Structure 1
Amino acid sequence: MRKAFQILLILAGAVLLLVACGKKQTPPASTGTTSTGAKLVVAVMPKLKGIDYFNAVERGAKEAAQELGNIDLTYDGPTEGKVDQQIPFIESWTLQKVDVIAVACNDPDAISPALKRAREKGVHVITYDADANPEKSGREFFVNQATFEDIGRALVDEMAAQAGEDAKVAIVSSSPTAPNQNAWIAVMKRYMAEKYPKMQIVTIQYPEEDQGRAFSMTQDILKTYPDVKGVFGISSVAFPGAADAVRQAGKSGKVAVVGLSTPKSMKGFVKDGTVKTVILWNPVDLGYLTVYVAKAVAEGTLKPGATEFEAGRLGKVKVEGDQVLLGPPMKFTAENIDQYDF
């Protein structure tokens, strides 16, 4: 009898042990933080630090992180717009096992292997401002400031209005591999052929993300093509560089300068009449939206197939495929440029 009782005790203990093990294997409910209750670690990298555009992005990212409350934000990157200087940051953040990496890419293909390795280590990866190669990088979403079509068409329409539909124009871009600029140029060429077939692009120059080089290249354009009627500056440093060259050449009001940059960088050129219109989006909002997307991707609340996304003070924004869209481009002129502080 005693032996039978001992066997029953052993069996009962085994059952309790199995129940306890089963409870330990049940995953905790998702709370948007780590299993220890720590904040989500989000690392955001610009193309380069220290310019007005990405300073504004940083402001927006910090605003969102503070508003959300459960974000441990790192904002860091290279001081030059070079992809080989971005890769070490990605590798370091991957080793640190951050939750999300968000990158504005200087080269869509060269950066992709590092992003792919991060994904393989369990780090979420999104891009913003300038995309990586979606297939090669494995990135989950691209936070796009506006569609390439909207930006390209807005640039060309503005140039036609200022320089004429049959103007000879030049483009001062960024690097030859810059994904956004190449996409905009492709739209611009196609749209010109459709709507302004007499408009002619005489040259495209690539100063990298260097305002001084944009200035000197525009000087060369004005000398080499004396009949040029307009210059596009399609990066946040190319535009002020091109405008400065036109102003110093004494051609303000004679050569139209149209492009993309921050109101802060362009205000002086707008005030003196060298530039009539600045086309851009709000980079503060872009940084803000990027952090909201990073959190949603990490928590699993933003998934493939979504068509809209709730982003704090921005309200509902559109999701098209694997792109989250900030909205249409804005125009800044002498009438409204003082209203913006980025």
Structure 2
Amino acid sequence: MRRTTWALAFGVLLAAGAARADSGWTGGDDLPTSPLACDGTAAAAAAKPYDGGTPTSAPDRAGKPLTVVDIPKLIGIGYFNATSKGIADAAKELGNVTAKTDGPTKANIDEQITFIDNTITSGVDGILFAANDPVAIAPVLKKALSKGINVVGYDANSTPDARQWFVNQAEFNGIAKSLIDNLAKEIGEEGSFAIVTSTFTTPNQARWIAEMAAYAEKCHPKLKWLETVEAQEDNILSFNQATTLINKHGDELKGIVGMTSVATPASAEAVTQAGKCGQIAVIGLATPNAMKPYVAKDCVKSVVLWNPVDLGYAAMYVLRAVADGTLKPGATSVKAGKLGDLQVVNGSEILLGAPFVFTKENIDKFDF
């Protein structure tokens, strides 16, 4: 895969209606992008009509006890342990919700669909999900809606008509700006880098990468992208992929961007074991606890994320509001307990807030 600048790599991608660039770019989706201003000027929120789905003949659940099942991409990793905790905390706080988390131990869309299908059969009031694939998951979510089940997504979206609302951890272009700005700060405006993602079809990673491309072309056009590799949200594969990038590109590689909470610490470990701390920057999305050892050793200077406990907490409050009928199409905000009022954006999304950058100065204040 040949080296290319961001401008070349994304000239075709960003053309109206174009497929992925002929230059070999992979990892981003083909949806329209909206890069933020280079100087950080806030973007104006565009009002859009509700585009979510509607459950068929849903019973009156206002104020009544709810049984909710949370089915994330996978269970057993720190990130989704944190969202699960937030869901459980909110359920306990609400007092009339029984919530549990279940799902595959690998980020496998077929297994996730099976878990959701089984949950529908068991008879529940609500389903929370984080999608492994936005399109493939849609039919089973629509099946849940057809059974009168309330469906709310978080972390990774489905097609909008397959769920009622989606709780977005931060807007995609905001995350993209934070990642690229921090990357350019560490490797320089003409540095070369590679990306370790989960899969090329995982909705949130693909959206972030597409927005990163657009923002980089606009604000840091001389950054050089080398390639994007898949690592399936697997720790060993992520480490091996990062090691391969280090060996393959040698001194040309100045930075690795991890797009998942698994890929980023695994990439930092690969850089550490290669003796490249200070020579190859690692920027990415990860939980602070996983990154503290690398930040303490100055092998990683910045970690971009949000609070996944708050994300799960917000998702549970949104589902309760939907079931109660207090969150309806056309709403501009929703009450989310200790988080206060959260804004409705893009028709049927609830925005948790802006991304946060963890650094050596603040990372020890967080425990998740």
TM-score (norm 1): 0.88
Amino acid at match of 1:175: T
* Number of the residue aligned with 1:103: 129
* Number of the residue aligned with 1:182: 206
Does residue 247 of structure 1 match 2:278?
no
Cα separation, 2, equivalents of 1:240 and 1:207: 13
Does residue 213 of structure 1 match 2:224?
no
Deviation at 1:133, TM superposition (A): 1.4
Q: Taking structure 1 as reference, are residues 132 and 31 closer, same or farther at Cα in structure 2, changes over 3 Å only?
A: closer
* Number of the residue aligned with 2:94: 68
* Number of the residue aligned with 2:365: 339
Does residue 170 of structure 1 match 2:173?
no
The CA RMSD measured in Å over matched residues stands at 1.2
Q: Taking structure 1 as reference, are residues 29 and 123 closer, same or farther at Cα in structure 2, changes over 3 Å only?
A: closer
Residue 261 of structure 1: which of 282, 286, 295 is its match?
Answer: 286
* Number of the residue aligned with 1:119: 145
* Number of the residue aligned with 2:182: 158
Amino acid at match of 1:290: A
Contact 2:88 2:100 in 1 (8 A): no
For residues 59-106 of structure 1, what are the alpha-carbon distances to aligned partners after superposition, in whole Å with 9 as ceiling and x for unaligned? 111110000000011211111111111112111111122111110000
Amino acid at match of 1:204: T
Please state which structure has a larger fraction of its residues in helix: 1
Aligned residues: 308
Cα separation, 2, equivalents of 1:91 and 1:158: 41
Amino acid at match of 1:247: T
* Number of the residue aligned with 1:141: 165
State the SS of the aligned residue for 1:225: helix
Does residue 32 of structure 1 match 2:63?
yes
For residues 220-273 of structure 1, what are the alpha-carbon distances to aligned partners after superposition, in whole Å with 9 as ceiling and x for unaligned? 111111111110001000001111111111110111100000001111011111
Between the two structures, name the one with larger relative contact order (CA 8 Å, sep ≥ 6).
2
State the SS of the aligned residue for 2:98: strand
Residue 341 of structure 2: which of 312, 316, 337 is its match?
Answer: 316
Cα separation, 2, equivalents of 1:127 and 1:31: 20
State the SS of the aligned residue for 1:319: strand
Structure 1 residues not aligned, in runs of 5+:
1-27, 34-38
Cα separation, 1, equivalents of 2:155 and 2:358: 19
Residue 246 of structure 2: which of 209, 219, 222 is its match?
Answer: 222
Q: Taking structure 1 as reference, are residues 217 and 67 closer, same or farther at Cα in structure 2, changes over 3 Å only?
A: same
Cα separation, 2, equivalents of 1:91 and 1:30: 22
* Number of the residue aligned with 1:235: 260
Contact 2:171 2:351 in 1 (8 A): yes
Larger-Rg structure = 1
Cα separation, 2, equivalents of 1:263 and 1:29: 41
State the SS of the aligned residue for 1:88: helix
Contact 2:160 2:348 in 1 (8 A): no
Q: Taking structure 1 as reference, are residues 40 and 156 closer, same or farther at Cα in structure 2, changes over 3 Å only?
A: same
Residue 228 of structure 2: which of 193, 197, 204 is its match?
Answer: 204
Q: Taking structure 1 as reference, are residues 219 and 29 closer, same or farther at Cα in structure 2, changes over 3 Å only?
A: closer
Structure 2 residues not aligned, in runs of 5+:
1-58
Amino acid at match of 2:174: D
Contact 2:195 2:256 in 1 (8 A): yes
For residues 168-204 of structure 1, what are the alpha-carbon distances to aligned partners after superposition, in whole Å with 9 as ceiling and x for unaligned? 1100011121000000000111111111111011000
Deviation at 1:31, TM superposition (A): 3.9
Q: Percent identity?
A: 48
Cα separation, 1, equivalents of 2:158 and 2:366: 30
* Number of the residue aligned with 1:12: none
Amino acid at match of 2:143: R
Cα separation, 1, equivalents of 2:337 and 2:226: 44
TM-score (norm 2): 0.82
- Paired residues for 1:282-297 under 5 Å: 282-297=307-322
Amino acid at match of 1:119: L
Cα separation, 1, equivalents of 2:122 and 2:179: 42
Residues 220-229 or 277-286, more deviating: 220-229
State the SS of the aligned residue for 2:67: strand
